[in-house]
Amino acid sequence: MPYTTADITFADRRDAGERLADMLVEAQWTDPLVLGLARGGVPVADAVADRLDGELDVLVARKIAAPGQPEFGVGAVTAEGPAYFHEDTLRRLGLTPSDLAAATATERAEARRRVRHYHQGREHIPRHGRDVLVVDDGLATGVTATAALRAVAEDAPRRVVFAAPVCAPESADRLRHEADDVVCLATPEGFGAVGMWYRDFHQTTDERVVSLLEAARGRTLGE
């Protein structure tokens, strides 16, 4: 069960990852693979992977926005997995997945482009039969996390867990239908936005993601 408190604040994503790892290290993991949701989830995931002696990889999920409302996500898609749409939101807006086919294709293409850039020509690390932890810097609406978890499920992991330092309570509850477990350090009422819970929440760059993946690969190979 997540630890619930309304007054938790993180210095930055590394601090959040280390504190999240303090909770996760108490569990037993089989061949753990930690997937950071790009971009902001990767520094958090890096701290978790380091503590769990697990491999680190990146997972890209792109929000699918409502027509004319670029900030209003009604679904999400990854590079290869099935698109996810929030059905209640679609009904409320009078939309169907077919209405969003062009937007879905655009976002999937961007997800694939980013994956190629982050992996620098390498394949993603195999997920089959492993404990896979999908890590983000926070859980707000949950649309990108849901798409990410469904994509991972396609690869038949042994277990899939979503973990984040801070989560909107209702989103964490919904996500429990998608993962074997959902781990949140805090599920505060009046969640607001993820950035409210960080003192330093500057944007993670693509270059930072690539750097963290390269460093983690070096650790794994003993370089």
Digit-coded pLDDT (tens) for 147-171: 999 999 999 999 999 999 999 999 9
Q: Is 99 within a domain? A: yes
Instruction: Give the chain's domain count.
Output: 1
Residue 221 has pLDDT above 80, yes or no: no
Q: Is 5 within a domain? A: no
Q: Is 163 within a domain? A: yes
pLDDT at residue 70, rounded to an integer: 85
Mean pLDDT calculated for residue range 173-195: 94
Q: Is 162 within a domain? A: yes
Q: Is 6 within a domain? A: no
- pLDDT band (50, 70, 90) for residue 223: low
Residue 220 has pLDDT above 80, yes or no: no
Q: Is 201 within a domain? A: yes
> How many C-beta atoms surround the C-beta of residue 123 within 10 A?
7
Q: Is 1 within a domain? A: no
Residue 43 has φ and ψ, to the nearest 5°, of -60, -35
Q: What is the CATH number of the domain that holds 209?
A: 3.40.50.2020
Segments forming the whole domain that contains residue 73: 13-221
Mean pLDDT calculated for residue range 96-108: 96
Mean pLDDT calculated for residue range 64-72: 89
pLDDT above 90: percentage of residues in the chain: 87
pLDDT at residue 71, rounded to an integer: 81
